[in-house]
Structure 1
Amino acid sequence: MSRDINTEAVALARHWLGTPYRHQGATRGAGCDCLGLIRGLWRSLYGSEPEPVPPYTRDWAERGSEERLWRAALRHMQPAQDPMPGQVILFRMRAGAVAKHLGLQSDSARFIHAYSGHGVVESALTPAWQRRIVARFAFPDPNDL
């Protein structure tokens, strides 16, 4: 029987709920940021991360126009159009800024993300969050790696 990677990703992400926010962290229970959450899910789904992540500052995205997260997602995931649970969502937090926040769609109206000051939480995908979505990505089928 083949794995349902989307259902598995959501179940794994729910185990991260309550993990404290830690800049550059990627360890369930100990601490993570939004990228660390996705990195941790990737390790659980595939065994190891697809590429090393260079150190980054909290304000890395304010210093230029390079869409680093978007490009990295395109290297390892498939762009997705129709919203569905298990997809990685990329957000642009301010108009004109680069996209710098990630989450995982958990159901039709919610997503799981690591948020500064809150840790890993499941939030409503409110209109305020929805208008910040710039891209969606599907985890690859493990047989395609």
Structure 2
Amino acid sequence: MRFLPLVLSVLFASVAHAAPVAAPEETSQPLINIPGLQQVQDVGRAVGTQATELVSAAMGFLGVPYRRGGTSAETGFDCSGLVKTVYQDSLGLVLPRVAAQQAASTKKVARNDLQPGDLVFFNTMRRAFSHVGIYIGDGKFVHAPRSGAGVRIESLSGAYWKKRFNGARRVLALDDEPTPLVMRVSDPAIR
């Protein structure tokens, strides 16, 4: 997985020169085409290096299989395991393990104020905040959806996700300190 930054830079460069592609109709199928990827990269630059690192790290796990309780690319991810791993590997921030705890430990953000790297939450199990993904820009998010599927990109405007959207959260503003439930890897409590 360490060669991923090179692969992603090649992917970003090829998308930048590709002809624009119309967005697909609403579907619960994964979005194979990523027409907004260049926009995501541009938005990431505007928001800061942290957002770009988060989005790149999340995209690096595309295709990794779902595994309940999973927290690694080698064995698979569940939704909150993916989020926890991406934040820890890219920014050195340790988030709680469960989606509902991740929501409780972060700051609310309005849907129209979403920025790449924000967390998006859904009610997929008849309870609030039972599923989480990472917003990457252009109305899309990366997540580990369910057993039998891999980490993928989907649209917030898809009928399934739109109906189940619970809200969005921001882990950190660029210059904020972590909340008590979010720690930096360098914190003594983690050692």
2:66 is aligned with 1:21: yes
Q: CA deviation digits over 1:39-70, x for unaligned, max 9? A: 1012113335245x4xxxxxxxxxxxxxx733
TM-score, normalised to structure 2, is 0.58
* Aligned residue pair count: 127
Paired letter, 1:46: L
Identity percentage over the alignment?
25
Q: Which runs of 5+ in 1 are unaligned?
A: 54-67
Q: Residues 93, 127 of structure 1: CA spacing in aligned structure 2 closer, same or farther, 3 A cutoff?
A: same
Tell me if the contact between 1:84 and 1:108 (Cα under 8 Å) persists in the aligned partners.
Answer: no
More strand as a share of residues: 1
What does 1:1-145 correspond to in 2, within 5 Å? 4-47=49-92, 49-51=94-96, 53=97, 69-75=99-105, 77-81=106-110, 82-93=113-124, 97-116=127-146, 117-125=148-156, 126-140=158-172, 141=174, 144-145=177-178
Q: Give the Cα separation in 1 of the matches to 2:79 and 2:119.
A: 11
Q: Which runs of 5+ in 2 are unaligned?
A: 1-46, 179-191
User: Which aligned segments of 4 or more residues in structure 1 are displaced greater than 3 angstroms?
Assistant: 68-72
Q: Residues 46, 79 of structure 1: CA spacing in aligned structure 2 closer, same or farther, 3 A cutoff?
A: same
Q: Give the Cα separation in 2 of the matches to 1:47 and 1:84.
A: 19
Which of these two proteins has the greater Rg computed from alpha carbons?
Answer: 2
TM-score, normalised to structure 1, is 0.74
